[in-house]
Structure 1
Amino acid sequence: MNRQRTRSLLAVLGLTGALAGAPIVAAEPAEDPAVQVRWGACPEGVEDPADGPARLHCATVSAPLNYREPEGARIEIMISRLASNSQDKRRGVLLLNPGGPGGAGLDQPKFLAAQGLPADVLDSYDVIGMDTRGVGHSTPVSCGFTDDQAYFGNIPPYAVNDAAITERAPVAQGVAEQCAANDHEGRLRHVSTANMARDLDRIRAALGEDKVSFLGYSYGTALGAAYASMFPQQADRIVLDSNIGDTYLDHDGMRRYGRGMEEAFPDFAEWAAGRHDTYGLGGTPEEVRRTYFTLAERLDANPVDGMDGSLFRFGTFFTLYRPALYAPAAESWKSLLETGRPGPGGGRPPGTGAPSPNDNAWSVFLAVTCNDAEWPEDIQTYHRAVAEDRERYPLYGAAASNLMPCAYWKLGPSEPPVRIDDTGPADVLIVQNQRDPVTPLRGGELLDEKFGGRSRLVTVDGSGHGVYVLGTNPCASDVVTGYLVNGTMPEHDLTCRAG
């Protein structure tokens, strides 16, 4: 799989209180005759020349850095377009978001088409990808992360004991201070879900559309929910796939990662148990689970080849994103059991201090996550959460509830989180695997509850992160395609059987 497709596939990526600043009055449509789109060639690397002639065109849309100061500093949002296959059948535009926050999405239209986005959808829409504000070819932000800082990305390392949380505190604080120190242009504080939703409406206006449809995965569900809530009359058909549960990710939302791994791991354990003769990980799912803890605790005590228990747990969590990753993970476990080493590529490469290729993605993830909501600042809150989740979700709870740089973030939030609007049109289709490691089923249920009569929830008896196009369930695919093409919304919530 080429780099562009891998990037689209894996972009991921899973509190109350008074918030600083007054809400920004910017839920009005972004009608601006000065905004226009001039399509041209996309930047190098967006498409792979080996795939044949370029199919995407790209353009930039100007937006205010700060919507409170619309005449002030500007930023550029780069978008891409895969034009409709049939102008006779074209009904509008379909905006995409691959997740993150921080996922680059210019190549996503072509990626989804290659993965099997139905022809009826490609006929019905100009499919629009984008690098959201701060990301990639849009006006970027950077915390200046090096390759040995950004390894765990958006998930804290597993806290093997209480002392590990205390040791994490100065690291998390240092990251927050580093981001603030590197924010030379003053952009980081304005990278938020609310502003990204405002940017979506700038894009709508620039494309000359009265309404836009939207398909978002993972964090893209938060962005889509925010857009449908802030601009309900401009939202057409909204599909939210693999849901974090609201328009923002806070500490409670992050803790659901632990729950997600508990719900998704049994599928891997059953798969591995059925191949015990090949991998030797255990003849029953219970034995495979015990093998997980045996290996994790062994690596806690004696890391090998750059792999410690925290990295082993992270790798297993990531394995559960897609069943296609089960086999290489099982090979690594087998190597650990037989030789004490993880096998080729199994450990963490040594840090060089060089700029990280993940700097931009992780910088945007932190900016959005920390700017969107208040996070606990008392370290004892994290001590209690880790202790609780180590018991409730022993596979991974002590990572998901661990200390984040958001505890020390000084740049935001500047406005309250976007509140779900349940009074708009019934135009939100929520799709969700029952066993998803990073956005568990509860996230889809929460979002459906908050939208009320505006939404329908389609749950799939399946495992992994991503349902529509990224999954293989024909029932869910037919429901989503029917909605995007014909506007056919299920009368009631429904469950699609495995298959």
Structure 2
Amino acid sequence: MRTYGKSAAFVALSVTAVATALTGAATPQAVASANPAPALSWRSCAQDGGPAGQECAELPVPLDYRDPDGPQLSLAVTRVRSDRPAARRGTLMVIPGGPGSSGVQRVTQKGERLQRETEGRYDIVSLDPRGVGGSPKASCGLAPEDREMVNLRSWPGADGSITENVTRSRRVAEACARNGGAMLRSLTTANEVRDIDRFRQALGEEKLSAWGSSYGTYVGAVYAQKYPQHTDRWVLDSSGDPDPSRVAKGWLANMAVGAADRFPDFAHWASDPAREAEGLRLAQRAEDVQPLVLDLAARLDREPRQSTTPGIPLTGNRLRQAVQLALYDDDAFAGLAGLVRAAGDPSVKPVLPAALSGPMPDADAAVTVGVICNDVRWQGTVSSYARAVAADRVKYPLTAGMTANITPCTFWKDEPADRPTRITDEGPSNVLMIQGLRDPSTPYSGALKMRAAFGDRARLVAVDHGGHGMYLGHGNACGDRAVTTFLNTGTRPARDAYCAD
């Protein structure tokens, strides 16, 4: 790992601003702090493949923190106690991504590895955010077709038209307004942050350490901004641009950049002569892979192929969505190459990836849409989205305008309950960011905006690897070592650092 200093351009990006959190005795933050911490009743919930000592409980939280004595929710929470009590120094909060990922499941998957890495220094804890896993669910009552990923994500028509996207987005927003109620309105980043602090109080901890991934980095950044005095060692893994005027709209737009950054890794893999024996070599040269995939998607736009899933054909947009999903991890490359080969062979029925072979559950769709639409008002007219899509399709053909398109958020009925938080350089210098250079979801260019916002509060470890979620995810020993060292000793690189692949 080598270090490099701040460039003049980086310094120019840095901002020093006042946090936009609401002030006054009646704020939800003040209410949460004033209420006594609930007691947690722990029980064993160990699962096959997970930590042997995993425990679960329910955390009561207000549905609305402005009405602390009103309706309550019971959030699913989990912990794995330190297996070396003499070495224990605190509690490590695992903040899941999404929106829509389960913290309980994340601890089941990663808890044992985290225990080994941190050598018993932490109790490892997490929660299922509102709407997720074992916590109370919301419902928009969406039709199955509207819950398919390729429709919930607004892929334009084959000719670039967004007419169908406008109709569907309006229909989804109206259904959520009609059926979602107070539960759906409560699905916000601000409330997840309040729930995490409520969990901290229930655990009896003055401070938490944290490992937030993907969307969890934004949750973690907002927590560090609102409750800096309660942060210990703070790790943000695969961060997006925290621009408070855009938030999720900006993250969606940046996915076009991420796909363009990442696809060459797949192209090199799929043109490697080693793929020949596997039957997965798509082209002789890496530069020919993208034109091949784009041409195949265009043909599928005109003539969809029947898949092995009855009633769900392989369309051009399903292929494009499959590409986007496969870019998250090298292990998915073989499946994508196989799909491309099958789609081009008239004698074979393509097998769709599981995520594209049917609608997602209504509760999952509700939380996915709810958080991003509740957090900030999405500006724009239908005509402005049409223009943006047309330009984006030319600049970023892999995502074909999806990342610039209209969404249900444009027609959302409720105004955001909280002002978006501006991340600033005011607070303790205890943040370590880790970021892949070729991330398809939260590209490096967006992570630099998070780094700039934190200023001297943070250090950034850039990993020369593709994919999403770096720590304990892609086998980069240098990056893993930097995070583990920080969690175990509090020591960060003196300056921003680089890890070769």
Q: TM-score, normalised by structure 2?
A: 0.88
> 2:50–2:108: 8 Å Cα contact kept in structure 1?
no
> 1:332–1:342: 8 Å Cα contact kept in structure 2?
no
Distance 2:183 2:177 in 1: 10
Distance 1:86 1:490 in 2: 27
CA positional deviation for 1:250 = 3.0
CA positional deviation for 1:421 = 3.1
CA positional deviation for 1:357 = 4.9
Matched, 1:486 2:482: no
Does the residue aligned with 2:334 lie in a helix, a strand or coil? helix
- Report what 1:73 is aligned to: 71
Does the residue aligned with 1:419 lie in a helix, a strand or coil? coil
CA positional deviation for 1:190 = 1.8
Distance 2:144 2:335 in 1: 24
- Report what 2:295 is aligned to: 294
CA positional deviation for 1:54 = 4.9
- Report what 1:181 is aligned to: 178
- Report what 1:104 is aligned to: 102
- Report what 1:38 is aligned to: 41
> 1:155–1:399: 8 Å Cα contact kept in structure 2?
no
Does the residue aligned with 1:137 lie in a helix, a strand or coil? coil
Does the residue aligned with 2:146 lie in a helix, a strand or coil? coil
> 1:154–1:365: 8 Å Cα contact kept in structure 2?
no
| Pair 397,494 (structure 1): closer, same or farther in 2 beyond 3 Å | farther
Q: Trace 1:400-439 onto structure 2 (pairs within 5 A).
A: 400-439=403-442
- Report what 1:10 is aligned to: none
Letter in 1 for 2:457: R
- Report what 1:7 is aligned to: none
Q: CA offsets, 1:47-73, max 9 Å, x none?
A: 54x448853111111111112222222
Distance 2:237 2:390 in 1: 31
- Report what 1:310 is aligned to: 317
- Report what 2:80 is aligned to: 82
- Report what 2:262 is aligned to: 264
Matched, 1:367 2:370: yes
Letter in 2 for 1:158: W
Q: CA offsets, 1:410-440, max 9 Å, x none?
A: 1231221012132100011111100011111
CA positional deviation for 1:337 = 2.1
- Report what 2:343 is aligned to: 336
For the aligned residue pairs, the C-alpha RMSD in angstroms reads: 2.3
Distance 2:500 2:465 in 1: 8
> 2:256–2:396: 8 Å Cα contact kept in structure 1?
yes
Aligned counterpart for 2:192 among listed residues 176, 193, 196: 196
Distance 1:411 1:74 in 2: 21
Tell me the matched-pair count.
467
- Report what 1:325 is aligned to: 332
Distance 2:347 2:402 in 1: 24
> 2:145–2:151: 8 Å Cα contact kept in structure 1?
no
CA positional deviation for 1:333 = 1.1
Distance 1:260 1:488 in 2: 30
Matched, 1:474 2:472: no
> 2:253–2:403: 8 Å Cα contact kept in structure 1?
yes
| Pair 174,160 (structure 1): closer, same or farther in 2 beyond 3 Å | closer
Matched, 1:141 2:138: yes
Q: CA offsets, 1:61-119, max 9 Å, x none?
A: 111111222222221221001111111111111111220111122122231135x3361
CA positional deviation for 1:179 = 1.0
Distance 1:481 1:348 in 2: 32
CA positional deviation for 1:221 = 0.5
Distance 2:175 2:252 in 1: 22
Matched, 1:205 2:220: no
> 2:160–2:389: 8 Å Cα contact kept in structure 1?
no
Q: CA offsets, 1:154-213, max 9 Å, x none?
A: 9624214566312211110110111111124x1211211011101111000000000001
Does the residue aligned with 1:107 lie in a helix, a strand or coil? helix
CA positional deviation for 1:339 = 2.5
Q: Trace 1:148-163 onto structure 2 (pairs within 5 A).
A: 148-152=145-149, 156-160=153-157
Q: TM-score, normalised by structure 1?
A: 0.88
CA positional deviation for 1:335 = 1.6
Percent identity, aligned pairs only, is 36
- Report what 2:14 is aligned to: none
Does the residue aligned with 1:187 lie in a helix, a strand or coil? helix
Distance 1:361 1:427 in 2: 33
CA positional deviation for 1:483 = 0.7
> 1:444–1:457: 8 Å Cα contact kept in structure 2?
no
Matched, 1:57 2:55: yes
> 1:431–1:444: 8 Å Cα contact kept in structure 2?
no
Which 5+ residue runs of structure 1 have no aligned equivalent? 1-20
Letter in 1 for 2:83: N
Letter in 1 for 2:201: A
